[in-house]
Chain A
């Protein structure tokens, strides 16, 4: 059975000028990535045309996109760590001399590109030894090397420090001066207003507006992005009675973290701040290090996932397809996978089926045949199924890592409702999210992590976007 795919993009028409920095903003799931994937040849549109310099072009794959001068720099950089900078720049189109790789030429040319992007390292450096910012420069050098006339950047500053971001902005200005069109995707509205010429707002796969960046107001842009008041998008918060015995306590990592029954607690921080690592330690997948972990006031040992599960910890992974679910197996088998020990050595298949039916009803999982492979389910339904799989273990604490990543807007609201109803039944929920509005809209309190430490706690009245960002970035209060 096939489920109707959500239209990720619908009737969007945008013009990009030469030598323009064009910001693309929108919530997660607004269609930004789909648009960029189509432009860079990763994904094919079902309808519509792309014109380059007025001429319609067909972009079937990444190679074709590159040959027409469209280069994309992904958030997760596509470099081979084991190779040198020069080898990465020329990967797949290495210059040769009498059949052998011409390393000399490769390095000379690469040095030229590196100079253009002001990279402070040599073409002979190993990419694995570079910082994230350095790797980004390699990607940009690669784009320069193919003479890209259109450069697409997806959240380039998400992983950069402040000075690194500044350097990137200067480079973008320089590329613009040379006539390169830069498509700049970012969540950071202030920076978009600062460096772009024009900004296009996408929402639910539709173009909402294209505005001049000069004089644009970030708050107004945010309204355009969300299109509805925040309090409508998130269910109204129901605060649990305070002062109970915490279910989970984490000490030894900076600020102590506690979660009481019925609380939805956020864990915010930049990418690489150590949030997923902390969650994996709680699941027994990596050593807890200096952390002391208590469940219901008692210290617990978490050296493998089985112990963590017995202790009552459940972890809904951010990566459903690889860690959260067995996509080639059925909904029934996925629903019982984490708690299979309760179904006997010879499996009670009737009980398994009943469990799946039960979760399907309670979480409103829209699935045709429970015996079909779950790979065909939509992101939202897969996510509900991976929550069901963990609820079946009757956990004390439910850790949700990026619970709405890759889920469309409608399903997001359902996920929020679900988390809240679980909390109302007394579940302690820890929500890890890079989506700040999500943390603010959903959680009762939030902790912020930076460099593998918990650096602060924000109560319900202190939770603002600025406060979280200050803690996450490590800058003092203004």
Chain B
């Protein structure tokens, strides 16, 4: 295998190892503290969940620019549901479960809508989801009257910072280090999606549709159904991510929630080695992409560099990733 192919396939992992090594060398034990490593995974867990869903959409030959606005919309519905039910007699656990279902359901509906217009209206995914980017944000703003919706259920944030204690660990504040629910959900979603992509018929169809929709159609695969399904699945994951984010913040800022999530999610997918042309990609690359972006953000924050440079650094990372992808010979 040529070095260029190796770079395209394992570039993200390679970059992560290099940055990891650099941090260990310069910050040593402080960087390697369990809490810090945990934060690397959980800090952007919501984006991670969305990026994993985005991986399927991009492999199927699509793209979704509406996920950020959709996060705000789903989050708004989630918190409104929480507040509505909090005044009743339901247990906090049931309230949160129900709100999560509402959030996931709204997301799935929004994704279904995107998918239907793309598949049956024969409009480019880019355009349909650009409309969604504007529209879903607007719905969120209307729900929140242009501002923040705060949760009136204190247990919501307890859940946001709850999780599983890592056995035998000792945090800086004494007591064990907690692996947050959001990080667990992120990893579980990645495991499940990777399984679906690589081991199930649906996953194979997703790859086939992205690689060559005509050949897929001739192979008696229902191409449009697969297209709708991946967008709906991504929508549901956006709903899930919105609930995780709402729990962490205990509120939803309808103007700011999910801002640039589409950028981060697509960047993570591309950095992870999934082809923007569709037909090829992998979920774990995306997970590495999310962690890599988090690490870069944190390094800039920790250094003396003006944090306003963050956007530029991200942009450069995305471009480099795409350029490496471009160098990959096409299997045509």
- A residues in contact (CB < 8 Å) with B: 283, 285, 304-306, 308-309, 315, 317, 321-329, 333, 337-338, 340-341, 343-347, 349, 373, 375, 389, 393
Q: How far is the CB of B1 from chain A (nearest CB, A)?
A: 12
Contact B208 A341 (CB under 8 A): no
Contact B208 A337 (CB under 8 A): yes
Chain B residues lying within 8 Å of A323, measured Cβ to Cβ, are 214-215, 218
Contact B219 A327 (CB under 8 A): no
Chain A residues lying within 8 Å of B89, measured Cβ to Cβ, are none
- B residues in contact (CB < 8 Å) with A: 199-202, 204-205, 207-208, 211-212, 214-222, 279-280, 330-332
Contact B200 A375 (CB under 8 A): no
Chain B residues lying within 8 Å of A337, measured Cβ to Cβ, are 204, 208, 215-216, 219, 221
Contact A328 B201 (CB under 8 A): no
A309 to B219, alpha carbons, bound, how many Å? 9
Chain B residues lying within 8 Å of A327, measured Cβ to Cβ, are 212, 331-332
Chain A residues lying within 8 Å of B332, measured Cβ to Cβ, are 321, 327-328, 375
Contact A373 B201 (CB under 8 A): no
- The residue in chain B whose Cβ has the minimal distance to the Cβ of A308 is B220
Which of A324, A325, A333, A373 contacts B204 (CB under 8 A)?
A333
- The residue in chain B whose Cβ has the minimal distance to the Cβ of A328 is B331
Contact A285 B218 (CB under 8 A): yes
Chain B residues lying within 8 Å of A324, measured Cβ to Cβ, are 215, 218
A309 to B147, alpha carbons, bound, how many Å? 55
- The residue in chain B whose Cβ has the minimal distance to the Cβ of A320 is B215
Chain B residues lying within 8 Å of A305, measured Cβ to Cβ, are 217-221
- The residue in chain B whose Cβ has the minimal distance to the Cβ of A374 is B331
| Residue in A304, A340, A343, A344 whose Cβ sees the most chain B Cβ within 10 Å | A340
- The residue in chain B whose Cβ has the minimal distance to the Cβ of A283 is B218
- The residue in chain B whose Cβ has the minimal distance to the Cβ of A393 is B220
Contact B280 A328 (CB under 8 A): yes
- The residue in chain A whose Cβ has the minimal distance to the Cβ of B279 is A328
Contact A329 B208 (CB under 8 A): yes
Contact B212 A326 (CB under 8 A): yes
Q: What are 21 of the A-B contact pairs (CB < 8 Å)?
A: A305-B218, A305-B219, A306-B222, A315-B218, A324-B215, A327-B332, A328-B211, A329-B207, A333-B207, A337-B216, A337-B219, A337-B221, A338-B220, A340-B204, A344-B201, A345-B202, A346-B201, A347-B201, A373-B331, A375-B331, A393-B220
- The residue in chain B whose Cβ has the minimal distance to the Cβ of A336 is B204
Pairs of residues from A and B, 9 with the lowest C-beta to C-beta distance, nearest first: A305-B220, A328-B331, A373-B331, A309-B220, A375-B331, A338-B219, A306-B220, A337-B219, A323-B218
A333 to B216, alpha carbons, bound, how many Å? 12
Chain A residues lying within 8 Å of B211, measured Cβ to Cβ, are 326, 328-329
A417 to B219, alpha carbons, bound, how many Å? 25
Chain A residues lying within 8 Å of B220, measured Cβ to Cβ, are 304-306, 308-309, 338, 393
Q: Contacts A305-B217, A306-B220 given: A340-B331 contact, CB under 8 Å?
A: no
A321 to B221, alpha carbons, bound, how many Å? 17
Contact B201 A343 (CB under 8 A): yes
Chain A residues lying within 8 Å of B204, measured Cβ to Cβ, are 333, 337, 340, 347
Contact B219 A346 (CB under 8 A): no
Chain A residues lying within 8 Å of B205, measured Cβ to Cβ, are 340
| Residue in A283, A305, A338, A345 whose Cβ sees the most chain B Cβ within 10 Å | A305
Q: How far is the CB of B36 from chain A (nearest CB, A)?
A: 38
Q: How far is the CB of A352 from chain B (nearest CB, A)?
A: 9
A174 to B218, alpha carbons, bound, how many Å? 46
Q: How far is the CB of B326 from chain A (nearest CB, A)?
A: 16
